[in-house]
Structure 1
Amino acid sequence: MSNAQNSSQEPRWAGEFLGLPETGAASMASYPRRIGALFIDWFVASGIGMILEPGNQWVVLAVFVVLHFALLWLFGTTLGKRVFRIQVVQLGGAPIKLYQAAIRAGLLGVVIPVIVIDRDSRGLHDKLAGTVEIHM
């Protein structure tokens, strides 16, 4: 089936239209894993934020965004993503670049782009950054 014919249809699996496999390494990371990773990353940021300035959730958010940016740029994964074996890569599989980590982390801090998803189950933050979350 050609891309033109398949473009109006729903994907059979998350990441199909991106050329990702249905299962296994390099397949799209599932929502439960992504949400689990997010909770771990927020927990770590909360701990650091509470040490820096107890009770200030803006500091927690800033720590979360900075950690997300730095760890994604340096390692392609965060602490939570590592636990759930998720990696963030460019479309095509290359490591993400500095500007992609910055776009993704900044939009993640705004929250709304994260809940706007496309038919391949990518959040707007991933779409705008040109990235995708895959299984390691």
Structure 2
Amino acid sequence: MPDTPRTPPPGPDAAGGAASGPQAWPGRRLGLPEHGPRSIARIGRRVGGIAIDWALAYIVAFAFFQGEGIAITIVFVLIQIVFLITLGGTIGHLALRMRVVPMQGGPLGVWRPIVRTLLVAVVIPAVVWDLDQRGLHDRIAATVLVRV
């Protein structure tokens, strides 16, 4: 089973669920299932995942850099990029059974994790979402966070 989103299902939501009314579930316009593997990761998992990642970054920064504020952010960014490139998800994502996949299929590559992570570090793009619960950081990087 591929890790990438499918083409949208036929019907009014395929052209853009917002114009034809609310969509049945986040990810439907992207051709993703409502529940289970490959469905959009919901807010609880996302918050839990980023909390785990920030906690790990804080622990590493405290252990090696006396917990300096900028050190925590730098460690967070480095951990995010390395794990996204190598495993397709951060430690928090993987612990909560999520994965980042590119919208067009294929490998995640290097540029998507870098762009996505830098935007998450800025915070604002991560809290601006669309109907499919994809943050601006995912839209710009052409990725989607799905359940495994």
> TM-score normalized by structure 2?
0.86
- Of residues 75, 82, 99, the one that matches 1:87 is 99
User: What one-letter code is carried by the residue in structure 1 that aligns with 2:146?
Assistant: I
Residue by residue, what CA displacement relative to the aligned partner does 1:89-128 show, whole Å, maximum 9, x if unpaired?
A: 0114533110001100110110110001011100000000
Note the 1:19-98 alignment, pairs <5 A: 19-98=31-110
> Can you give the 5+ residue segments of structure 2 that lack an aligned partner in the other structure?
1-10
Separation of aligned partners in 2, 1:135 and 1:92: 17
Q: Partner of 2:7 in structure 1?
A: none
Q: Quote the offset at 1:65 in angstroms.
A: 0.8
User: Structure 1 or 2: larger helix share?
Assistant: 1
- How many residues are matched? 136
Larger mean Cα displacement after TM superposition, 89-98 or 113-122: 89-98
Query: Structure 1 unaligned runs (5+)?
Result: none
The question of whether the paired residues in 1 share the 8 Å contact of 2:16 and 2:29 is answered with no
Q: Please give the TM-score of this superposition, normalised by the length of structure 1.
A: 0.94
Give the Cα–Cα distance (whole angstroms) in 2 for the partners of residues 82 and 53 of structure 1.
26
Q: Which residue of 1 aligns with 2:22?
A: 10
C-alpha deviations, 1:52-101, integer Å up to 9, x for none? 21131111011101110110011101111111000000114533110001
After TM superposition, where is structure 1 displaced by more than 6 Å over at least 4 residues in a row?
none
1:90 counterpart letter in structure 2: P
In the alignment, what sits opposite 2:139? Answer: 127
1:7 deviation in Å? 4.5
Aligned-residue sequence identity (percent) comes to 35
Query: What secondary structure sits across from 2:101 in the alignment?
Result: strand
